[in-house]
Amino acid sequence: MQFMRAKDGSASRTEPTDEERMIKKSILFAAAFALLAGPAYAAKCSNSGSGFEAFKKDFAQYARSQGVGKRGINALMSTKYSPGVIKFDRRVNRAFRKAASSSGSFQRFYAKKTKGLAPITKRKLRQHKRLFDSIERNYGVQREVLASIWGMETGFGRFTGKHDIVTSLATLTHDCRRSGFFRPNLLAALKIIDNGWVSRKNMRGARHGEIGQTQFMAANYIRYGVDYDGNGRRDLIRSTADVLASTANYLRQKGWQPMGSYQPGTRNFNVLHEWNASSAYQRTIAKFAASL
């Protein structure tokens, strides 16, 4: 929480105004309420498995204060620290940085990510034409962008990942490199399980904790997931309609200009940064989508 600094009107100290007194009271009240609302998360991170069991206990206490119940807590406590997840994280981080380092590196990255993808992508665009028509009308995100993301992320749902998402997120939250990014996603994953949206058994995906056919992080699953097929639940694992509409909703909520250009230098290209922070990945989406 950021606190406002009181401003002196002159070199000599003046009495606070009624407005300043009101602001101070509001800040004190908010701080007091935060203390009453539940314990803040304050566990220390580590670049090894040291302290992981203590971390789980601390995070469980924090999760309970955020409304997570027994099913979610049990999911967290069943995890074990995964060195493989950390090794993967470091390797992917190096690969993305290298891909953005030069034109040649980007071309190799692009070729690898899109190899053989064009024919099946065009087939999916024809197969789901009515669905794409509807999503374009409602969200203003072009079908070729959505199809490119869908294909690049999981090969249209064929390779969503088999890793235990809760274990991945717990390990990455305990790790110091990006604990602040993964912490809300671990909490969200526990809430998804606790609410019965996805069972503990089926909560499997990529090694960074991504879920479903376009690899949503758990916090975004909760925030941007859409029940587009109208069956009463948001299913980003099995429902093509929910997957594509949720992806479009995410981009639109992040500032996508309806049906506008998405090439480098445009507002929509910048929105692709919200989808993936790698500049090479953003450029690949834009270039491949334009080729369709």
CATH number at residue 86: 1.10.8.350
Q: What is the mean pLDDT of residues 222-235?
A: 93
User: Do residue 129 and residue 259 come from a single domain?
Assistant: yes
Distance CA 24, CA 30 (A): 10
User: Do residue 79 and residue 127 come from a single domain?
Assistant: no
Classify the C-alpha dihedral 31-35-37-38 as positive or negative. Answer: positive
> Count of domains in the chain?
2
Q: Which pTM does this prediction carry?
A: 0.78
pLDDT score for 8: 36
Domain-ending residue, one of 210, 240, 270: 210
Distance of CA 32 to the CA centre of its chain: 31
Could you report the per-residue pLDDT of 117-163, keeping only the tens digit for each?
Answer: 999 999 999 999 999 999 999 999 999 999 999 999 999 999 999 99
Q: Is the pLDDT of residue 28 over 50?
A: no
Kindly state the helix (H) or strand (E) to which residue 204 belongs, with its residue range: strand 204-205
Q: Is the pLDDT of residue 32 over 60?
A: no
Q: Which domain holds residue 168?
A: 44-100+161-210
Distance CA 73, CA 185 (A): 14
Q: What is the mean pLDDT of residues 262-267?
A: 96
Could you report the per-residue pLDDT of 74-111, keeping only the tens digit for each?
Answer: 999 999 999 999 999 888 877 666 666 667 788 998 99
Residue 9 located in a structural domain: no
